[in-house]
Structure 1
Amino acid sequence: MYHRDAKTDTARIVGFEVTPNSINHEYKEWNEKNPQVTTCNPNTKHLILGGVIPQEVDTDKEVIFSYDVSFKESDIRWASRWDTYLLMNDDQIHWFSIVNSLMIVLFLSGMVAMIMMRTLYRDIANYNQLETKDEAQEETGWKLVHGDVFRPPINCGLLCVYVGTGVQIFAMTLVTMIFAVLGFLSPSNRGGLMTAMVLLWVFMGLFAGYSSVRLYKTLRGTEWKRITLRTALMFPGILFAVFFVLNALIWGEKSSGAVPFGTMFALVCLWFGISVPLVFVGGYMGSKKMVIEEPVKTNKIPRQIPELPWYMKPAFSILIGGILPFGAVFIELFFILTSIWLNQFYYIFGFLFIVFLILVITCAEITMVLCYFQLCSEDYYWWWRAYLTAGSSSLYFFLYSVFYFFSKLEITKLVSGILYFGYMLIASYAFFVLTGTIGFYSCFWFVRRIYSSVKID
């Protein structure tokens, strides 16, 4: 189909339709330089007649491919050629998803506001009015753990690596979505979105190194070069290893969808040639920054944590914390999975960007609320708990992908199933690092904010 421009008297191809047919072709007298078949008549445009016999495909049997082209004028303009594929008829579902997510955000915002403006400010005012140390000892709740709340956690180096990697993923995702919303990543440019994400990931290594080392110094770490190296290699190494195994399976199936060796080599060059050096540059910049001072002093002897109620046990509170962030994105997740695995277009990046912002707010607020309840129970091990609370939404992400596999897809081959779950495992892992980092930084700000307002003698 072509559209003719009356002003310039030129035409552009705006679309095409393909009708596949099977024909049992037969050669005329064999001529190697000019092979011809008796079943194709060059003088007619419609070759498929009712009496045409289809070809049976068998081992060692030659298959002859032929085609016929017919040009038809169309009213569709060149600028509107993608409208048929990008027209979304389910806007109401996306708006319902956003309204549903906004209700969750308003609910959590109300709880955070209640804690910050009513409970905390009142508690801080009462606490600062205590005249003697004995009166302070009689207080219960989050104020009693002020001497332990900034004690470095177990495996603090690993936490710093994950936080730095999460900053890298967050920056890559944010910039990619901004470009997509502005229209720079068109679906007509096949592979443009993935290329942009890879390049942004490489250059965002600067922020990963800076964030990891800055937090590591805050936790009194001394081996910042080691942390920088782990930040540069751990997460990309895990993803590359899984991706290489999956790609090897595709190679084994002799599929054209396998990533060529040259492309794999180019990815490794980008990783070690640009990303790793940028991570070290960011780490060096972070090591030269001043240490973030703690608002209160840490006691030399750790405080004993009392018996926690069942609903404040780590496993339960972590799993509960991931439900609302996942609830904010699961409807958009359905459309994203459909576009990936059922070959449909996804071009409503405006909706996706709004949902992403809602996800960030939800992760931050649910982590702060649960962190406050944890500190009120006199449990000061909040560092990893904050990360895992928001990051647990990735568990529901993966479980939903399992449900989608059995309910929507009709995959029967073992290799195809392994590919699906392998790629979804990569996506869930990245989602864990992203949401966990958002939850950690919000909780880090929250804890510093409330304890900096308390007067400690």
Structure 2
Amino acid sequence: KLKPDRSIPTVCLICLFVNRLDSVESVLPYEYTAFDFCSEKKMKRPSENLGQVLFGERIEPSPYKFEFKKPAMCQKVCTQTYDTNSPPDKAKLDFLKKGMLLNYQHHWIVDNMPVTWCYDVEDGQKFCNPGFPIGCYVTEAGRPKDACVSNFNEKDAFYIFNHVDITIHYHIVEHEQLGARLVAAKIEPKSYENPNDSPDCTGGPKFLKKKQTGVFNIPYTYSINFVEDKNIRWASRWDYILESMPHTNIQWFSIMNSLVIVLFLSGMVAMIMLRTLHKDIARYNQMDSVEDAQEEFGWKLVHGDVFRPPRKGMLLSVFLGSGTQIFIMTFVTLFFACLGFLSPANRGALMTCAVVLWVLLGTPAGYVAARLYKSFGGEKWKTNVLLTAFLCPGVVFADFFVMNLILWGEGSSAAIPFGTLVAILALWFCISVPLTFIGAYFGFKKTGIEHPVRTNQIPRQVPEQSFYTKPFPGIIMGGILPFGCIFIQLFFILNSIWSHQMYYMFGFLFLVFIILVITCSEATILLCYFHLCAEDYHWQWRSFLTSGFTAVYFLVYAVHYFFSKLQITGLASTILYFGYTMIMALIFFLFTGSIGFFACFWFVTKIYSVVKVD
């Protein structure tokens, strides 16, 4: 809504804010002031939430200010002068050239709404991009790159977009005192030479030679126009941006197709499991009723070893505690996102919600880890609770801190300030760790988990296994089906992170999340049943790794995405991409592995409690 200026009655000022600049060819975003554009030093920058700081968003005021319904033509903002003989000026000019070469994009905001650059694409469609380039480059061979158009004929030159035509759409609201609401803001970047001191937006495009010498001036100007639009409602003013995203129809069709296939496969797996297991239980119960002693076979033979504590039970319990914490955090975050609380309009809300939930969910992590470790017969409860509180979060924070050092070294706006790092550590040590200790206290206080069958003192020898029941082939096969239900959504998520596209399909993402949980559970239970029938009772670690292996497929897909879809250049950007990808892979490994373990734990407990064993 428009806010009236109290000092000037009946005049409504519209303030334009600027965000960080980013590029699809570089992982490193930069603040608006890093490129030496016209800046506003009088106004204070708006406060940012934790999610915005973690994502590297740096919203700042700009010198672009307009009066509502007062058009303006070729208004001067400022003129930046550079002398190539001055080292500071030359460094600023070289950084500006680098930004144009890597196609860095402006991101402007009006009334909490992105200013979009709409242009025609193939088949007469219009694409609206929530950003526009600072300039473009024409190679030595005369080939224009990125946004350079046909009249940019100078070879080996950088063309800077120093003028913008801004169009603000509004509609009148008669029953409100304010009178009008902004429903869209569009921009068209242009380049003008402006040879005179008083700019008139004339002359050819403004270009900068690759080996520019002497004094170089860049005048920045703008034009503003207001258009009344009665068709766009204020509540749905973001829709034109979302609907114009490229290949939107193809994306929806692909997601629906994937969901139908995954649901069909899940139904098939569930039906086979239920029918096969029902016949097994009926046959074994019928054998127990026969007076003649008959030799047992299959999964019933290992009833005295199936609940034997696994090797490295301490590590498994710690992984399961952290995985439970991540599972609950993901479920609640996606649920809130589906309700619209974490929409793209609420910048940083998604990350803020996830971090706060993770901090507050230390109690379930400590409880699950302690309870399972006690059921494994563990006695080193101090080590268990310390590892639960510090191992997995410590690995993530160490990776994150190293990536942040690289961002600091590159001067990127994505570098987390030292105060924010201290705040994150305070949340971890002062809230999450005590809650983990509280959960572990209640977990160890509880009695051990009662199993339906007793464990023999002497472990049974596992017979020679066939190829598909050996651990490694089974683990590899187990991650294929869960990965198949997420890889399309994974493409959209990676696009939103690395290609700076807007992600808004949280409803489908939540549905895919539920199907992923079901698919991980069914695939792991199926393979666990095969292994028990082959008299291999080492199911605990195998169930965790079977569904957790989905993270390996995710990692492989991320590598493929890097080399096939992205145009990232530079060693720092490459290290940052794979560093952050490793964090996501670890979180995904703990999440999916925990789903598989608890599904198998329920399954094994259920079948051995139904069948009477000697």
For normalisation by structure 2, the TM-score amounts to: 0.68
SS in 1 for 2:558: helix
Task: Summarize the Cα distance change of 1:206–1:67 in structure 2 as closer, same or farther, 3 Å threshold.
Answer: farther
Matched with 1:332 is 489
Task: Summarize the Cα distance change of 1:40–1:204 in structure 2 as closer, same or farther, 3 Å threshold.
Answer: farther
Alpha-carbon distance in 2 for matches of 1:23, 1:264: 44
SS in 2 for 1:344: coil
Q: How many angstroms does 1:50 deviate by?
A: 3.3
Cα deviation code 1:204-245 (max 9, x no counterpart): 111111111111111122222321111111111101111111
Task: Summarize the Cα distance change of 1:190–1:290 in structure 2 as closer, same or farther, 3 Å threshold.
Answer: same
Q: How many angstroms does 1:56 deviate by?
A: 5.0
Cα deviation code 1:366-420 (max 9, x no counterpart): 1111111101111111110010011111111111111111111111211111111
1:81 aligns with 2:255: no
Matched with 2:416 is 259
Greater relative contact order (CA < 8 Å, ≥ 6 in sequence): 1
Alpha-carbon distance in 1 for matches of 2:522, 2:265: 10
Task: Summarize the Cα distance change of 1:64–1:273 in structure 2 as closer, same or farther, 3 Å threshold.
Answer: farther
> Do the aligned partners of 1:324 and 1:362 also contact (CA within 8 Å) in 2?
yes
Alpha-carbon distance in 1 for matches of 2:491, 2:320: 28
1:39 aligns with 2:200: no
Deviates more, 1:172-181 or 1:11-20: 11-20
Alpha-carbon distance in 2 for matches of 1:131, 1:145: 22
Q: How many angstroms does 1:79 deviate by?
A: 1.7
1:13 aligns with 2:171: no
* 1:305-454 matched pairs, under 5 angstroms: 305-454=462-611
Task: Summarize the Cα distance change of 1:2–1:17 in structure 2 as closer, same or farther, 3 Å threshold.
Answer: closer
Cα deviation code 1:252-306 (max 9, x no counterpart): 1111222222221111111111111111111111122222111111111111111
Alpha-carbon distance in 1 for matches of 2:557, 2:205: 48
Matched with 2:366 is 209
SS in 2 for 1:283: helix
CA RMSD in angstroms comes to 2.0
1:114 pairs, out of 272, 275, 278, with: 275
Q: How many angstroms does 1:319 deviate by?
A: 0.3
> Do the aligned partners of 1:124 and 1:453 also contact (CA within 8 Å) in 2?
no
> Do the aligned partners of 1:202 and 1:271 also contact (CA within 8 Å) in 2?
yes
Letter in 1 for 2:234: W
SS in 1 for 2:552: helix
Alpha-carbon distance in 2 for matches of 1:199, 1:113: 40
Task: Summarize the Cα distance change of 1:96–1:285 in structure 2 as closer, same or farther, 3 Å threshold.
Answer: same
Task: Summarize the Cα distance change of 1:59–1:370 in structure 2 as closer, same or farther, 3 Å threshold.
Answer: farther
Q: How many angstroms does 1:77 deviate by?
A: 3.3
Task: Summarize the Cα distance change of 1:59–1:305 in structure 2 as closer, same or farther, 3 Å threshold.
Answer: farther
Q: How many angstroms does 1:174 deviate by?
A: 0.4
Matched with 1:30 is none
* 1:50-61 matched pairs, under 5 angstroms: 50-51=203-204, 53-56=206-209
Alpha-carbon distance in 1 for matches of 2:582, 2:554: 9
Task: Summarize the Cα distance change of 1:378–1:69 in structure 2 as closer, same or farther, 3 Å threshold.
Answer: same
> Do the aligned partners of 1:2 and 1:11 also contact (CA within 8 Å) in 2?
no
1:190 aligns with 2:347: yes
Alpha-carbon distance in 1 for matches of 2:556, 2:353: 28
Structure with greater helix share of residues:
1
Matched with 2:143 is none
Matched with 1:124 is 284
> Do the aligned partners of 1:181 and 1:349 also contact (CA within 8 Å) in 2?
yes
SS in 1 for 2:180: strand
Matched with 1:158 is 315
Task: Summarize the Cα distance change of 1:394–1:51 in structure 2 as closer, same or farther, 3 Å threshold.
Answer: closer
Gaps of 5+ in 2: 1-167
Cα deviation code 1:73-105 (max 9, x no counterpart): 241332222111223433212111211111121
Task: Summarize the Cα distance change of 1:278–1:107 in structure 2 as closer, same or farther, 3 Å threshold.
Answer: same
> Do the aligned partners of 1:312 and 1:374 also contact (CA within 8 Å) in 2?
yes
Alpha-carbon distance in 2 for matches of 1:283, 1:390: 26
Task: Summarize the Cα distance change of 1:65–1:196 in structure 2 as closer, same or farther, 3 Å threshold.
Answer: farther
Task: Summarize the Cα distance change of 1:10–1:363 in structure 2 as closer, same or farther, 3 Å threshold.
Answer: same
Cα deviation code 1:429-454 (max 9, x no counterpart): 11111110000001001111111123
Matched with 1:35 is none
| Identity percentage of aligned residues | 51
Deviates more, 1:67-76 or 1:104-113: 67-76
Matched with 1:105 is 266
SS in 1 for 2:170: strand
Letter in 1 for 2:607: I
> Do the aligned partners of 1:127 and 1:454 also contact (CA within 8 Å) in 2?
no
* 1:130-169 matched pairs, under 5 angstroms: 131=291, 135=293, 138-169=295-326
Task: Summarize the Cα distance change of 1:287–1:16 in structure 2 as closer, same or farther, 3 Å threshold.
Answer: same
2:331 pairs, out of 138, 161, 174, with: 174
Q: How many angstroms does 1:201 deviate by?
A: 0.8
Alpha-carbon distance in 1 for matches of 2:228, 2:274: 58
1:4 pairs, out of 168, 171, 179, with: 171
> Do the aligned partners of 1:3 and 1:77 also contact (CA within 8 Å) in 2?
no
Aligned residues: 437
Alpha-carbon distance in 2 for matches of 1:315, 1:184: 43
> Do the aligned partners of 1:97 and 1:332 also contact (CA within 8 Å) in 2?
no
Structure with greater strand share of residues:
2
> Do the aligned partners of 2:555 and 2:585 also contact (CA within 8 Å) in 1?
yes
Deviates more, 1:177-186 or 1:122-131: 122-131
Task: Summarize the Cα distance change of 1:224–1:180 in structure 2 as closer, same or farther, 3 Å threshold.
Answer: same
SS in 2 for 1:66: strand
Alpha-carbon distance in 1 for matches of 2:520, 2:217: 57
Matched with 2:224 is 70
SS in 2 for 1:17: strand
SS in 1 for 2:187: coil
For normalisation by structure 1, the TM-score amounts to: 0.91
Alpha-carbon distance in 2 for matches of 1:279, 1:208: 6
